[in-house]
Chains A and B, each alone.
Chain A
Amino acid sequence: MAELPATPLLDDLEKGPWPSFVTEIKNAALHKDSCKDLLGQLERSYREKIGHWKHGGIVGVLGYGGGVIGRYSDLPKEFPGIAHFHTLRINQPSGWFYTSKALRDICDLWEEHGSGLTNMHGSTGDIILLGTTTDELEPTFKALTDVGFDIGGSGSDVRTPSCCVGPARCEWACYDTLKVCYQLTMDYQDEIHRPMFPYKFKFKMSGCPNDCVASIARSDMSIIGTWRDDIQQDDAAVKEYADKGLNIQRDVVGNCPGQCMEWDGEKLTIDNDLCRRCMHCINAMPKALAPGKDRGATILLGSKAPIVEGALLSSVLIPFLKIDNEEDFKDLQALVEEIWEVWGEEGKNRERVGEFIQRVGMANFLEAIGLEPVAEMVAHPRENPYVFYNQGDDEEEDK
Chain B
Amino acid sequence: MAEATKRVTDIGPPHYEKFLPEIIKKNYGTWKYHEVLKPGVMVHVGESGDKLFTVRAAGARLMSIYRIREIADLADKYSGGHLRFTSRHNIEFLLTDSANIEPLIAGLKEIGHPIGGIGNSISSIVHTQGWIHCHSAATDASGVVKAVMDEVFPHFEKMDLPGKLRIALACCLNMCGAVHCSDIAILGVHTRPPKTDFATVNKVCEIPNVVASCPTAAIRPVTADGNRTVEVIEEQCMFCANCFTVCPAMPMNDPDTDGISIWVGGKVSNARTEPQFSKLAIPFLPNNPPRWPEVTSAVSNLVELWAANARPFERMGEWIDRITWPRFFKMAGLEFHPEHIDDFKHAGLTYKRSMHLVR
Contact = CB atoms under 8 A, between A and B. Distances in A.
B147 A96 contact: no
Interface stretch (A145-153, A329-337, A360-368, A387-395): A145-153
A100 B18 CA distance: 12
Contact of B131 (A27, A51, A117, A306): A51
Contact of B213 (A94, A213, A286, A350): A350
Interface string B219-250: 00000000000000000000010101110100
Interface of B (DSSP majority class):
loop
Interface string A269-297: 00000001111100110110010000000
A118 B242 contact: no
A212 B87 contact: yes
A25 B64 contact: yes
A100 B153 contact: no
Interface in A208-252: 209-218, 247, 250-251
B212 interface: yes
Nearest to A57: B248
Interface stretch (A9-17, A260-268, A338-346, A370-378): A9-17
Contact of B83 (A46, A98, A104, A165): A98
B98 interface: no
Interface stretch (B29-37, B331-339, B350-358): B29-37
A182 interface: yes
Contact of A211 (B19, B112, B175, B268): B268
B191 interface: no
A137 interface: no
Contact of A209 (B89, B269, B287): B269
B13 interface: yes
B132 A169 contact: no
Interface stretch (B69-77, B99-107, B297-305): B69-77
Nearest to B88: A212
B180 A107 contact: no
A138 to B, nearest CB: 9
Interface in A186-213: 186, 189-190, 193, 209-213
B67 A27 contact: yes
A94 B306 CA distance: 35
Interface string A301-331: 0000111111101000000000000000000
A6 interface: no
Interface in B123-145: 126-128, 130-137, 140, 142-143
Given A123-B178, A182-B15, A217-B181, A211 B275 contact: yes
Contact of A287 (B33, B133, B153, B258): B33
Interface string A60-71: 001110000001
A42 B272 CA distance: 43
B113 interface: yes
B63 interface: yes
Give the bracket for the number of chain A residues in contact with chain B.
Answer: 35 or more
Given A18-B58, A19-B60, A120 B131 contact: no
B290 interface: yes
A134 interface: no
Nearest to A306: B173
B16 A94 contact: yes
A254 B281 CA distance: 28
Interface residues of B, number: 117
Given A56-B135, A92-B13, A306 B180 contact: yes
B188 to A, nearest CB: 10
A94 B24 contact: no
Contacts of B170: 305
A103 B345 contact: no
B72 A104 contact: yes
B131 A193 contact: no
A95 B10 contact: no
A98 B84 contact: yes
A31 B10 CA distance: 32
A376 to B, nearest CB: 14
Contact of B132 (A27, A42, A279, A290): A42
A64 B9 contact: yes
A93 interface: yes
Contacts of B35: 286-287
B277 A20 contact: no
B146 interface: yes
B121 interface: no
Contacts of B19: 93, 97-99, 102
Contacts of B62: 21, 24-25, 117-119, 130
A55 B248 contact: yes
Interface in B252-283: 253-256, 258, 266, 268-275, 277
Given A16-B150, A93-B14, A176-B29, A214 B181 contact: yes
Given A46-B143, A94-B13, A120-B68, A167 B255 contact: no
Nearest to B271: A280
Given A148-B11, A171-B33, A305-B173, A311 B180 contact: yes
A120 B89 contact: yes
B7 interface: yes
A314 B24 CA distance: 32
B17 to A, nearest CB: 8
Nearest to A15: B150
Interface string B336-352: 00000000110000000
Contacts of A64: 9
A305 B287 CA distance: 23
A193 B9 CA distance: 10
Interface in A56-96: 56, 62-64, 71, 85, 87, 91-96
A173 interface: yes
B313 A280 contact: yes
A167 B28 contact: yes
Contact of B289 (A9, A102, A117, A185): A9
B330 to A, nearest CB: 25
Contact of B270 (A16, A94, A278, A307): A278
A171 B272 contact: no
A27 B66 CA distance: 7
A322 to B, nearest CB: 15
B32 A171 contact: yes
10 contacts: A17-B114, A95-B16, A98-B84, A99-B18, A117-B63, A209-B271, A306-B240, A311-B175, A349-B209, A350-B246
Closest 8 CB pairs of A and B: A16-B150, A305-B175, A55-B248, A100-B72, A209-B270, A107-B65, A167-B29, A18-B149
Given A120-B91, A286-B33, A307-B174, 20 more contacts: A15-B150, A16-B146, A24-B67, A28-B64, A38-B132, A49-B258, A50-B258, A98-B85, A99-B19, A99-B81, A103-B83, A106-B65, A106-B68, A119-B63, A123-B128, A124-B176, A176-B29, A211-B275, A250-B312, A280-B271
